[in-house]
């Protein structure tokens, strides 16, 4: 049962999330399938400068985000979805790696809250505190082993991976079905087979004859074989 319908994102760069109003996710919002709130962390600051960071205890380069504005912001967005478990996703290069399996698991939550840090990240007591709250589930997530400037782009990636799986978001659900077969087939995760469309010949390159044959059995066999070859030859 797919359950997600509310996403809240907390960031010091709300404009970074503007692409959520486009394409598939924009349409899903317009259709009322999901709703998304973007929140400026600085709205939670008390000082005139709107400070959200400070020097790290123990020393070291860079700045760390202070826990107080995060606590206020997370408490405020949690109130938007009362009597539910809030899945608090803290983006960090040290988190659990995003996979299709994790994206599928996240579709099961009614309320996802994304905490997008900047600088060297957020004081770990924010994760530690909400981990002790029975109405929260905290997950630290990475989208891969490289270092981004902050959590915003990682949030866009995770939200897109989740939202396209929700019922009614993709016009042709058969494509999701086929995808789940390739990603979880017997011989392990396969990468996709190569795609072709018109014209039949382009810059001296032809479409393989089997794809023009109309023989669906042979086409399925060829595609599986191609997917296996590509999976084996992939550099990582």
Residue 99's Cβ-side half-sphere holds a number of Cα atoms within 13 Å equal to 9
In whole angstroms, the minimum distance from the beta carbon of 226 to ligand JDK comes to 30
The two beta strands, 53-54 and 64-65, are antiparallel
- Under the binding rule (CB under 6 A), the answer on residue 89 touching ligand JDK is no
In whole angstroms, the minimum distance from the beta carbon of 26 to ligand JDK comes to 24
Closest by CA position to 13, among listed 142, 113, 117: 117
In whole angstroms, the minimum distance from the beta carbon of 45 to ligand JDK comes to 18
Q: Which of 6, 39, 86, 118 binds ligand JDK (CB under 6 A)?
A: 118
Report yes or no: 37 and 80 within 8 Å, Cβ to Cβ. yes
- Under the binding rule (CB under 6 A), the answer on residue 223 touching ligand JDK is no
- Under the binding rule (CB under 6 A), the answer on residue 69 touching ligand JDK is no
Q: How many whole angstroms separate alpha carbon 174 and alpha carbon 59?
A: 54
Burial call 84-96: b when 16+ CB within 10 Å, e when fewer: eebbbbbbbeebe
With the CA atoms of 186, 192, 193 and 194 taken in that order, what torsion angle do they form, in degrees rounded to the nearest 10? -170
Q: Which of 41, 74, 91, 161 binds ligand JDK (CB under 6 A)?
A: 91
Q: How many whole angstroms separate alpha carbon 128 and alpha carbon 212?
A: 58
Residues 125-144 that bind ligand JDK (CB under 6 A): 142-144
Report yes or no: 112 and 6 within 8 Å, Cβ to Cβ. yes
Residue 181's Cβ-side half-sphere holds a number of Cα atoms within 13 Å equal to 10
Closest by CA position to 163, among listed 125, 205, 203, 109: 109
Q: Which of 11, 44, 45, 92 binds ligand JDK (CB under 6 A)?
A: 92
- Under the binding rule (CB under 6 A), the answer on residue 61 touching ligand JDK is no
- Under the binding rule (CB under 6 A), the answer on residue 150 touching ligand JDK is yes
**With CB under 6 A as the contact rule, which of the stretches 7-15, 125-133, 146-154, 214-222 interacts with ligand JDK?**
146-154
Q: Of the two residues 69 and 121, which places its CB atom closer to ligand JDK in the complex? A: 121
Q: Of the two residues 144 and 208, which places its CB atom closer to ligand JDK in the complex? A: 144
How many chain residues touch ligand JDK (CB under 6 A)? 18
Residues 96-115 that bind ligand JDK (CB under 6 A): none
- Under the binding rule (CB under 6 A), the answer on residue 147 touching ligand JDK is yes
In whole angstroms, the minimum distance from the beta carbon of 92 to ligand JDK comes to 5
For residue 96, what is the DSSP state? Answer: E
> What are the residues binding ligand JDK (CB under 6 A)?
91-93, 117-121, 142-144, 146-151, 154
């Amino acid at each position: 049962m797919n359950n997600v319908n509310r996403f809240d994102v907390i960031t010091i760069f709300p404009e970074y999330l503007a692409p959520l109003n486009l394409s598939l996710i924009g349409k899903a919002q317009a259709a009322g399938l999901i709703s998304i709130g973007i929140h400026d962390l600085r709205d939670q600051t008390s000082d005139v400068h709107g400070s959200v960071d400070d020097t790290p205890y123990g020393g070291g380069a860079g700045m760390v985000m202070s826990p107080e504005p995060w606590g206020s912001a997370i408490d405020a967005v949690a109130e938007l979805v009362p009597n539910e478990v809030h899945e608090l996703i803290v983006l960090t290069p040290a988190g659990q790696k995003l996979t299709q399996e994790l994206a599928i698991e996240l579709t099961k939550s009614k309320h996802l809250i994304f905490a997008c840090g900047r600088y060297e990240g957020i004081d770990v007591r924010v994760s530690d505190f909400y981990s002790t709250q029975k109405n929260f589930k905290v997950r630290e997530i990475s989208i891969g082993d490289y270092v981004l400037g902050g959590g915003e782009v990682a949030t866009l990636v995770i939200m897109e991976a989740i939202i396209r799986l929700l019922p009614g978001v993709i016009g042709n659900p058969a494509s999701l079905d086929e995808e789940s077969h390739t990603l979880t087939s017997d011989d392990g995760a396969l990468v996709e087979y190569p795609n072709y469309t018109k014209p039949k010949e382009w810059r001296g390159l032809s479409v393989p004859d089997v794809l023009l044959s109309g023989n669906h059995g042979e086409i399925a066999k060829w595609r599986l074989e191609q997917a296996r070859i590509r999976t084996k030859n992939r550099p990582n």
